[in-house]
Chain A
Amino acid sequence: MAELILDSVSQSYAARQIIADLSFTLPEGTIGCLLGPSGCGKTTALRCISGFEPIQTGEIRIGGEVVSRHGWMLPAEKRRVGMVFQDYALFPHLSVADNVGFGLRGQPSTERLARIDELLALVGLAGHAGQFPHQLSGGQQQRVALARALAPRPRLILMDEPFSNLDVELRERLSLEVRDILKRETTTALIVTHDQHEAFALADWVGVMHEGRIQQWDTPYNLYHEPANRFVADFVGQGALLPGEVINDHQVEIELGVLDGHIPIECGARGCDECVRSCHVDVLLRPDDIVHDDDSLLLAEVENKAFRGAEFLYTLKLPSGQRALSLVPSHHDHAIGEKIGIKLAVDHVVAFRRE
């Protein structure tokens, strides 16, 4: 367990910048997540931290010790960084117990066996010690890979798209389980994924990456409710951007009415330095910001709907032709083309300057 710090790290391959000026701090014992679309550089960042890729600028520190800087890196086998691979990379010729014990060589056998037992119990595979990887299901293999990485008590655990080979249901259950396991081992962990549900379920800190840069390093709650830029707003969660006009430092007018921000609109933070009255902005409306109300005089046409069990996600066409999303409890079943009453329920305003 140790703190992980990336300090303006960049890496390029054949004249192509893969990651640029990457900086973040993952405190000891917390779980971090790099979230981004494929090709954003998140896997490369992970490989730099694990010691398989050199970096060109900056520094990577684990527990205060520099492990990578320009022109030098501590070899992967000396870093004490555990890794769970996307394809699990279990050793096919070793039993589950031997896989888990692989990194424990050199320890007295009683200690080794005790640690193997402890970990297999932790990941819920106590009865499978003698089996071979190919006899296990995908979810079980995943947990063996995690146990194997945890066994030598690494300073840091890295996981590359850990659930991408599993089906959706298993993914959700396992991500909660994995969080539980990591917390019980009080491990510092960094996970790479393109799936925000996974990131939100697992991580204390999430960094959204795009084109080799971290767009925002924040808690899941803040990423959703206070995205730092359009990319984050668009990539994290659903929503629509509606044009609006600023009235004063905490009010903005959009088609559906005037929004009162509980927190003032900090135009500076949203990329609008000279924001004054009547400045044009785009306001982010999440599906839960628009609620259905039969008594409302504001009407919108149902253009599309998706049944989600507990609720419908309606795509609404506003009178001006703009589109917005609304989450509505599922007993309000309206037909496509119907006009329904809506009202705003916005806690705080997120707005980006019009480009």
Chain B
Amino acid sequence: MLFALAITALVLVPVVVTFSSFAQVDGDILAHLAEFVLPELVGNTLWLMLGVGIGVSVLGVSLAWLTAMCDFPGRRLFDWALLLPLALPAYVTAFVAIGLLDFTGPLQTWLREGWGITGLPEIRSRGGVILVMSLALYPYVYLIAKNAFATQGAIALEAAQSLGLSRTQGFFRVALPMARPWIAAGLMLALMETLADFGTMAIFNYDTFTTAIYKAWYSLFSLAAAAQLASILILFVLVAVVFEQRSRTRMRYGAVGRSAAQRRIRLSPALAGLAFLYAGTVLAIAFLIPVVQLALWARTILADDLDSRYWDFAWHSVLLAGIGTLMVVAVALLLAYAGRQRPGTAMTWTQRLATLGYAFPGAVLAVGLFIPVAALDNWLIDRGRSWFGFGGTEILKGTLLVMFLAYLVRFLAVGFGPIDSGLHRITRSIDEAARNLGSSTTALLTRVHLPILRASLLTAATLTFVDIMKEMPITLMTRPFGWDTLAVRVFEMTSEGEWERAALPSLAIVVAGIIPIILLTWRGTRPLD
């Protein structure tokens, strides 16, 4: 219990720190922020949420309905392939889109020179950001809505039809409203990611809170301003969190009995063709074309860029992700066991709070954890000076501490989920059966718990590892000198418009990102999970 509370405290630190930044108001900066920056940031953020919200809902729900309920050529392939865009961080889709569709990009050049067509809408625009984010994030809605339709869609439709509704009416009046909590939960996850996104916004030069925090941090050198911006961003996030948690509660109550063997809707050949075309287009734009383009770009610079520095970036990525994953998995394991030893409402809430960090944008965590660590650092240095005559400027600041703490807070939920559900499979009676058969506590852990949890631990570790590898703002803002990773490299190359050179590190991230999707697809078919 104590341990669980400590983790919860760590998660709440950034919230408290950022809000308490209002205690020391820097008048000039705040005035500047309020007058010039805030209105634009809030406007940009709201438009973005609205646009991405509509985009991911339409894409996610329509694709989920097609693959879960209808039959058309390639359905089985699309069923999992439509998840692949998850492997592409939004910032990668973003720079590929700009590289391809910009005024100087191949498409516009070809249209202009070959056909004399000009005046295509500018990709570096609000619409462009929304399009890219929607394509990158629709899988959140797709995955969760697909499960909802697959478990209750057929029953709902049949019930509706038996009551005299047509299939279309049945979809809009029964199946869709029934799946609403699921869709809302997926939507909120997508919106949290939107709020947290830094890389895409930086590439599009679209000012939101995350980029503003970064600028305040680096250009204004104002921790206070960064913290104040972060606290406003947290308010947005908390709204999304409340909606998400409420949807989850409704999902529990709304769950209908397991659907019997699914009978899919047979589409007419014309409709089936359209469905294929639609799913294929989304998949092509959101995944295939970007990956092919990355590969083509990477090939052009392979000879120059695949040098020892590249391997350094890769090594840093793997090392940081590896250590971060170990921390996350260890803490998640302890937290899950704490819940098993002391079940109860208090523990459930502690666990919920402790795993809330997934909602906090990396930029917020970087600021919220840097400030207290810096304060601790100063205190330590003062003590060091007065007690030992020790001189220095930083002890903890220059280390990886802030970064790992931020990783821990942000990705604890990723590791906790699979481990906790794995642990729930080990019922109390399994423990008692082992003890009845003569097992000591050690034997119980090594012969029963560990083997049963192995798959869950592996899943947790893989998901966390890949998430840390993709992570950009925390790494960018808190890395000590010389700790550049693949994601940092992508940021640096894209901020100079060097798409080709950003492609190589991106490809590595994408390849790593495909692994958890394979895991995710397997999990549905394996009984042990």
Contact = CB atoms under 8 A, between A and B. Distances in A.
Given A83-B432, A89-B430, A103 B452 contact: no
B452 A50 contact: no
Contacts of B435: 75-77
Interface string A88-103: 0111111000000011
Contact of A82 (B434, B436, B451, B528): B436
Given A77-B440, A148-B437, A93 B432 contact: no
Contacts of A77: 435-440
A76 B436 contact: yes
A92 B425 contact: yes
Interface string B439-463: 1100100011001101000000000
A152 interface: yes
A200 interface: no
B432 A76 contact: yes
Nearest to A50: B436
Contacts of B443: 105
Interface residues of B, number: 21
Contact of B430 (A52, A75, A76, A91): A91
B429 interface: yes
B429 A89 contact: yes
B386 interface: no
Interface string B496-515: 00000000000000000000
B278 to A, nearest CB: 38
Contacts of A191: none
Contact of A87 (B427, B438, B448, B452): B427
Given A87-B427, A87-B429, A91-B452, A149 B528 contact: no
B452 A83 contact: no
Interface in B412-436: 425, 427, 429-430, 432-436
A134 interface: yes
Interface in A134-158: 134, 148-149, 152
- Interface size class on chain A is 20 to 34
Contacts of B451: 93-94
Given A52-B432, A76-B432, A85-B433, A93 B438 contact: no
Contacts of B437: 77, 82, 102-103, 148-149, 152
B333 to A, nearest CB: 17
A182 interface: no
A149 B435 CA distance: 11
B527 interface: yes
A22 B432 CA distance: 23
B342 to A, nearest CB: 16
Nearest to B448: A91
Given A85-B433, A89-B427, A89-B430, A105 B438 contact: yes
Contacts of B425: 92
A48 to B, nearest CB: 13
A86 B429 contact: yes
A89 B432 CA distance: 9
B392 to A, nearest CB: 52
A115 to B, nearest CB: 13
A116 to B, nearest CB: 13
Nearest to A160: B429
Nearest to B454: A93
A85 B429 contact: yes
Interface in A53-81: 75-81
B452 A149 contact: no
A137 B429 CA distance: 19
B527 A81 contact: no
Contacts of B452: 91-93
Contacts of B527: 132, 134
A132 B451 CA distance: 14
Contacts of B434: 91, 102
A79 B435 CA distance: 10
A235 B434 CA distance: 35
Contacts of A89: 427, 429-430, 432-433
- Please indicate which of the listed interface residues A79, A86, A89, A90 has the most CB atoms of chain B within 10 Å of its own CB: A89
A230 B307 CA distance: 90
Nearest to A145: B433
Contact of A50 (B432, B439, B454): B432
B435 to A, nearest CB: 4
A14 to B, nearest CB: 14
A149 B430 CA distance: 12
A82 B438 CA distance: 9
B186 to A, nearest CB: 29
A81 B436 contact: yes
Given A91-B448, A92-B528, A93-B528, A152 B438 contact: yes
A148 B440 CA distance: 17
Given A93-B452, A93-B528, A83 B439 contact: no
B387 to A, nearest CB: 51
A81 B437 CA distance: 8
Contacts of A79: 436
Interface in B445-487: 447-448, 451-452, 454
A284 B306 CA distance: 94
B443 to A, nearest CB: 8
Contacts of B438: 77-78, 80, 103, 105, 152
Given A91-B448, A93-B452, A83 B433 contact: yes
- Please indicate which of the listed interface residues A76, A105, A134, A149 has the most CB atoms of chain B within 10 Å of its own CB: A76
A85 B432 contact: yes
A237 to B, nearest CB: 32
Contacts of B440: 77
B343 to A, nearest CB: 16
A52 B435 CA distance: 10
A107 to B, nearest CB: 11
Contacts of B448: 91, 93
Interface in A101-115: 102-103, 105
A93 B527 CA distance: 10
Contacts of A87: 427, 429
B36 to A, nearest CB: 60
- Please indicate which of the listed interface residues A52, A90, A134 has the most CB atoms of chain B within 10 Å of its own CB: A52
Contacts of A82: 436-437
Nearest to B428: A89
Contacts of B454: 93
A184 B448 CA distance: 30
A52 B429 CA distance: 11
A253 to B, nearest CB: 54
A49 to B, nearest CB: 11
Contacts of B528: 92-93, 134
A82 B434 CA distance: 10
Nearest to B451: A93
B281 to A, nearest CB: 40
5 contacts: A77-B435, A77-B440, A83-B436, A102-B437, A152-B438
3 nearest A-B residue pairs (beta carbon): A103-B437, A89-B429, A85-B429
Given A52-B432, A89-B429, 11 more contacts: A76-B435, A77-B439, A78-B438, A83-B432, A91-B434, A91-B448, A92-B452, A102-B447, A103-B438, A132-B527, A149-B436
